[in-house]
Every structure is written in structure tokens, then in C-alpha cells.
């Protein structure tokens, strides 16, 4: 059975660096598959649910070419890839969706950045990386 590696991509420079690290990890493992996953999450409570969903769908369409071009690049380098854009209509942290995905897809290693698009925070880890380090059942590699 192949070893499944998940790289969490949010478009940030550090998540791009995580992709490069994930590529190395795939090459180290025999017969590994890389899952490149982006979560589109709900911006916050709103009275207009239809508008919020349409906005999220727009974000997903914007995110798709980015992960597809990463897939093309990696497949060109001989890496077997899957891509997924997960829609989270709830108000959970995107980490929850990534952790669920990891369980459902028998992921053995999650690779992600220490921080993401959220700008400079006070803490070394962002909320997504922090929750994944605490709650994921598989190995986690945090790139900084």
C-alpha cells in the first residue's frame, strides 16, 4: 500500500516551502502519494448565507489553478499527486477539516508551514498549525 502524505496549502510562502519539503519526503518514501489540500473556510457569521457560499465558491475557483499548477510541476518531477479543495461551511478552524481528511485518507504524514496567510502573529505557530500539531493522529512536519 502506498504511503500518503498531505501538504496543507494556503497560498502563503511558508506553505509553498512546505510543498518543497513534502516533495523531498515523497522521494524518501517508497511508493508515496502526495495530497495537496486547500481548505476554503467560512469568513464568519452572516445573514446572507447564499452570498457567503457564493463568495466561498469564488475563492475555491481562485484557489484551484494554484494547486493544479503545483500538481503539474510535481508530476513533472515524478511525484504522484492528488489535489483537493475542501469547503468548510461551518465556523471551525480549517485544521479540523484537514484532520478529518487525514483520517479518511489514511495520511501518514502532514506537512505544513508554521505560519500562513494570517500575517505576523505573536506566536510561533498559527492557529491551524497549532491545532494540527496538537490533534492530528499522524506524524506532522512543520516547516519554518
Where on the chain is the footprint of ligand ATP (CB under 6 A)?
8-10, 12, 14-15, 18, 37-39, 41, 94, 112-113, 115-118, 121, 126-129
Q: How far is the CB of 114 from ligand ATP (least distance, A)?
A: 6
Q: Which residues have C-beta within 8 Å of that of residue 12, sequence separation ≥ 6? A: 113, 115, 116, 117
Q: Which is nearer to ligand ATP, 15 or 25 (CB)?
A: 15
Please check whether residue 26 is in contact with residue 6, taking contact to mean a CB–CB distance below 8 angstroms.
no
Q: Per the structure block, which three cell numbers stand in for 27?
A: 522521494
Q: Which does 12 bind (CB under 5 to 8 A by kind): ligand ATP, Mg ion, none?
A: ligand ATP
Q: Which is nearer to ligand ATP, 30 or 62 (CB)?
A: 62
Q: Which is nearer to ligand ATP, 4 or 15 (CB)?
A: 15
Q: Specify the DSSP class assigned to residue 45.
A: -
Q: Which residues of this protein are in contact with Mg ion, per CB under 5 A?
A: 116, 118, 126
| Burial per residue of 17-29, b for 16 or more beta-carbon CB atoms within 10 angstroms, e otherwise | bbbebbbebbeee
Amino acid at each position: 500500500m502506498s504511503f500518503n502524505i498531505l501538504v496543507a496549502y494556503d497560498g502563503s510562502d511558508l506553505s509553498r516551502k512546505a510543498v518543497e519539503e513534502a516533495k523531498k519526503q515523497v522521494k524518501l518514501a517508497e511508493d508515496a502519494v502526495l495530497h495537496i489540500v486547500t481548505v476554503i473556510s467560512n469568513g464568519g457569521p452572516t445573514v446572507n448565507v447564499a452570498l457567503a457560499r457564493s463568495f466561498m465558491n469564488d475563492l475555491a475557483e481562485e484557489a484551484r489553478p494554484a494547486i493544479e499548477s503545483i500538481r503539474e510541476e510535481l508530476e513533472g518531477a515524478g511525484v504522484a499527486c492528488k489535489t483537493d479543495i475542501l469547503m468548510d461551511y461551518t465556523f471551525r478552524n480549517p485544521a479540523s477539516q484537514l484532520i478529518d481528511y487525514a483520517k479518511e485518507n489514511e495520511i501518514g504524514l502532514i506537512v505544513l508551514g508554521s505560519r500562513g496567510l494570517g500575517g505576523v502573529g505573536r506566536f510561533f505557530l498559527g492557529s491551524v498549525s497549532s491545532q494540527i500539531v496538537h490533534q492530528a493522529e499522524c506524524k506532522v512536519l512543520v516547516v519554518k
